[in-house]
Amino acid sequence: MTMARHHTRSSGPATDALREAFRLSCELLQSRRSDIMGLAVHTKAQLDSTVREVLGDEVVKGLDRNNRVQFKGITIQLLTEKIQVRKLDGPVLAAFVSPGYKIELIQTKSTTYDDRRHSDAKSTDPLRSA
């Protein structure tokens, strides 16, 4: 199984891009018959504004308090450079993260992406060639 990766070409707070990324993550959840996903942000401060606008106050409050929240039948697990989980069986939506943390997410949270099986990964994946 290949890992699906979607990128948006946006900078700054892009509500529509985040909303579309969340929709795609939910589609991945359904196709994998999973009910948990990760939401990676640089720090909890990034939960304000755009994330709050897309997911709502209650979701952001739950993530801020418990690092995990139930939302429309799925569990959203908060991930930051300081908040990590050992195992996450669903997709990870990386919003407002540094390029270095994005690479770390791919390397540590990917269950289907392995450089040994994808020898051209470093030359074809802009995140891995950084």
- The 10s digit of each residue's pLDDT in 9-18 is 666 668 888 8
pTM: 0.73
Mean residue pLDDT across the chain: 76
Bigger pLDDT: 40 vs 128: 40
Specify the pLDDT at position 128: 41
What b-and-e string marks burial along 22-43, b requiring 16 or more CB atoms within 10 Å of the CB? beebbebbeeeeeebbbbbbee
Please report, rounded to a whole number, the percentage of residues in the chain having pLDDT higher than 90.
24
Encoded tokens for 61: 């409050």
Question: CA torsion sign, 82 to 48 to 29 to 27?
Answer: negative
Please tell me the predicted confidence (pLDDT) of residue 118.
39
Tens digit of pLDDT for each residue in 13-36? 688 888 988 998 888 888 888 899
The dihedrals phi and psi of 49, each to the nearest 5 degrees, come to: 60, -100
Q: What is the pLDDT of residue 130?
A: 40
